[in-house]
Amino acid sequence: MSISFRPLPWEYAIRNLFRRPLRTTLTFGGLTMVIVLVFVVVGFIRGLERSLSITGDPLTAVIFSLGMGENLEYSSIPMRTSDLVPASVSGIQERFGQKYVSPELYLGTQIGVGEGEPSMGLVRGVTRSALLVRRQLQIETGDWPESGEVIIGRMVAAKLGATPAEAEIGQSIEIEGRRWQISGVFSAGGSAFESEAWCRLDELQQAMKRQDLSLVAVTLSPGADFADLDLFCKERLDLELQAIPETEYYASLQKDYGPVVWLAWLVVLLVSGAGVFGGLNTLYGSVVGRVSELSTLQTIGFVRRSIVLSLIQEGVLLAAGASLLAAFIALVFVNGAAVRFTMGAFSLRVDSMAVLIGCGVGLSLGFFGAIPPAIRALRMPIVDGMKAV
């Protein structure tokens, strides 16, 4: 004679969660902490990927020293390159007689802010033509730097480990042994430029005792052919130049950070695995303490599948609540938080994809964490389970 499958009432699982408030609270808190950690790591991955993917303009190309790969800060090209390029290459965007060409000196060096120890940061010497080429840039507060001044990205303070007060307008920073007054703060749509400090090109060259450039950035007109710029670099063998679209350059940087991203995903798996084992441990204790109850349910006619389903419902309900709380904490406290990384800084990003991954991990913890202890408890013979205390 076969026994029909009859699930336990839905409210039975809900009532059981409130029958043991202390154990439920501890399990709920543990799951929430694990899921918040998942949100932090996923937010790191999404923030890093977004920072590199939105940096650069599809119409902009960079010209730098041949053989430098992705190391723009080590590039060195002649100062006259910024005049030769617009004179020799057609298709460069122009406005009121001024072509969109930005000569820049770009380097990584020690930057001191406030009373703290100097740390490595990125400095870019530019002219006003950078405002034409770097169309993402928006001056949030203050003004464009004049003599002895520097304008900083909104992530510079986080990169250098400084307080917001130490990076305000009117404060000073030290670059290459020289003090520069902060004239303003700019944003760049969340791109990598926001972790840089910009000053006048001629003054940075003087401070560094250099007369060369690191790169020349040019903005091409819509429909212009990048091949003309590439041909110019290949023909001028005396200058030893190479050109690459700016978006391709930062895409190559994103590939270089691939191992870091994979390591971060590994951390997500490890944290999730730790959460599964932690949930198993807690749920084992919860189920073992209910052996008599589970045996009684079998005695009155509920099959084991019904009881396992009810225990899974409890785990999923608890995990769903923990996932919602963790998502709220992540959106309020984690999203937009600044994090330092190698030579720059970026914001953690808890977007829809991060919420989907975090909540998915949370629900998986509740589902898979409830199955093993339920099966183990139900393997005990009913008679022995009725005798359990």
- What is the β-pairing status of strands 119-126 and 196-200? parallel
Nearest to 154 by CA among 196, 183, 112, 115: 196
Domain boundaries, the chain: 10-53+257-387, 60-221
Strand partners, 120: 110
User: What was the pLDDT predicted at 2?
Assistant: 46
- Residues 140-163, mean pLDDT to the nearest whole number: 90
Kindly report, residue by residue over 351-370, the tens digit of the pLDDT.
999 999 999 988 888 888 77
The answer to whether 272 touches 87, Cβ cutoff 8 Å, is no
- Which of 60-64, 199-203, 299-303, 377-381 is least confident? 377-381
In the structure encoding, which two tokens stand for residue 260, read together? 């870091």
Whether the full predicted model's pTM is greater than 0.85, yes or no, is no
Dump pLDDT digits (tens) for 238-278.
889 999 999 888 888 777 777 877 887 888 788 777 766 76
| Count of Cβ atoms closer than 10 Å to residue 235 Cβ | 11
Strands (E), 169-294: 172-175, 178-187, 196-200, 215-219, 241-245
pLDDT digits (tens, 9 = 90+) for 91-147: 899 988 889 999 999 998 888 887 767 888 899 999 999 999 998 899 999 999 999
The answer on pLDDT for 381 being more than 70 is no
